[in-house]
Amino acid sequence: MAEVLNQQEIDNLLNNVKSGTEEKPEVAGSKEAIPFDFRLPNRISKNQLRTIMNIHENFAESFSSFLVSKLQTLVTASVASVDQLYYSEYVLSVSNPSCLFTVGIKNTDIKGILEFSPELALALVDRLLGGNGEGKKEAKVITPIEQKVLNVVVESIMVNLKKSWSVVDKLEFEVDRFEPDIDFAQITSPNESVLLISFEIMISEETHLMNLCLATFSFDAILAKLSSQKFSSIRPTDYQGSTSREVLARNLLYAELPLKIEFGKSTISVSEFLSLEVGDIITLNKKLSDQCEIKMEDKLICYGRPGIVNKRKAIKVTKKLI
């Protein structure tokens, strides 16, 4: 049955018609309409994006450890964001010239781009060649020599990506070529969606950006495994079935420790020290038959005798104290 209007509601409608305006009544429980783009369906769900973020957080941790050992300075790497967007949108965000490496996964059609910001690329090259990272270069074009230097970092990224993705499948990441222009690094059509993982690389006190862009049109097989498997804790397959204590103990076995060999001690005056010449002999407080002290972090751990093995100087451990 139609709703009957009272006289006041009728007068209000007539006044609105005369003035050319009409107020739409608010519907209880109505929600604001959200536009949906049918050209870009979300291939990757939120749960899958969360898993992908966890995988690349592990990668960032391994990659930062590699940079610390290579650059001999404080380096931290972290995942800034994981997004889905048009490939055309990503292309517009890339500077020109830039530092791009096209990558792929063996035995799949998955293609991607590893992007270093020009500032990050030049800082890495400067530090890898022995600089302090403060060198400035007017032109941001990456030369062939700088590309060769960066290959050390890129190859390490491929290895660490393989280790991080081993919880999903054995994916073999490989580098295709270097490109300074995004227009020549076409990995998919402009209207296709891509997965963009952004990393923040902090070297000393400077923060730089690194991006990994992967085309998602051939991601279906990997997405199926992300959906079927439960990733309560992201741990490489090599460590499955091991406790954290066992993993740490296993890695500690390969840790490098500094050793000091003390053959003896001697005391001389400043005048004797200043008059030392090549060929002079300093008498120590020990005999040739006495054992040498082997120390670790200035702590005596064992005794030994010096000798030669395969034409190299060596020391033989004769007594352990620990």
Identify the structural domains of the chain with CATH numbers, from first to last. Answer: 46-234 (3.40.1550.10), 259-320 (2.30.330.10)
The values of phi and psi at residue 254, to 5°, are -105, 10
Q: Which of 106, 99, 196 shows the shortest CA–CA distance to 150? A: 99
Q: How much is the pLDDT for 148?
A: 92
According to DSSP, the residues that pair with 304 across neighbouring strands are: 292, 317
β-pairing verdict for 75-86 and 111-116: unpaired
Lowest mean pLDDT: which of 16-25, 40-49, 68-77, 273-282? 16-25
Confidence band (pLDDT; 50, 70, 90) for 40?
Answer: low
- The answer, yes or no, to whether residue 180 has pLDDT greater than 70, is yes
Contact (CB, 8 A) for 56 and 211 = no
The two tokens of residue 282 are 């300093």
CA distances in angstroms from 187 to 94, 105, 130, 198, 209, listed in the order given: 14, 13, 35, 18, 21
What separation, in Å, do the N-terminal and C-terminal C-alpha atoms of the chain show? 96
- The answer, yes or no, to whether residue 199 has pLDDT greater than 90, is yes
Residues 253-312: tens digit of each pLDDT:
777 888 888 888 888 889 888 998 998 888 888 887 888 888 888 888 898 888 888 888
Distance between CA 185 and CA 64 in Å, rounded? 27
Lowest mean pLDDT: which of 120-134, 138-152, 244-258, 262-276? 244-258
Q: How much is the pLDDT for 244?
A: 62
Q: How much is the pLDDT for 1?
A: 45
Contact (CB, 8 A) for 168 and 222 = yes
- The answer, yes or no, to whether residue 229 has pLDDT greater than 80, is no
| Helical H segments across 20-80, by residue range | 46-71
- The answer, yes or no, to whether residue 24 has pLDDT greater than 70, is no
Q: How much is the pLDDT for 130?
A: 83
Q: Mean pLDDT across the stretch 121-145? A: 81
Q: How much is the pLDDT for 311?
A: 84
Lowest mean pLDDT: which of 146-150, 192-196, 231-235, 312-316? 231-235
Q: How much is the pLDDT for 211?
A: 94
Q: Which of 157, 152, 217, 213 shows the shortest CA–CA distance to 185? A: 213
Confidence band (pLDDT; 50, 70, 90) for 232?
Answer: very low
For residue 251, with 0-12 CB atoms within 10 Å meaning exposed, 13-18 middle and 19 or more buried, which class applies?
exposed
Contact (CB, 8 A) for 163 and 236 = yes
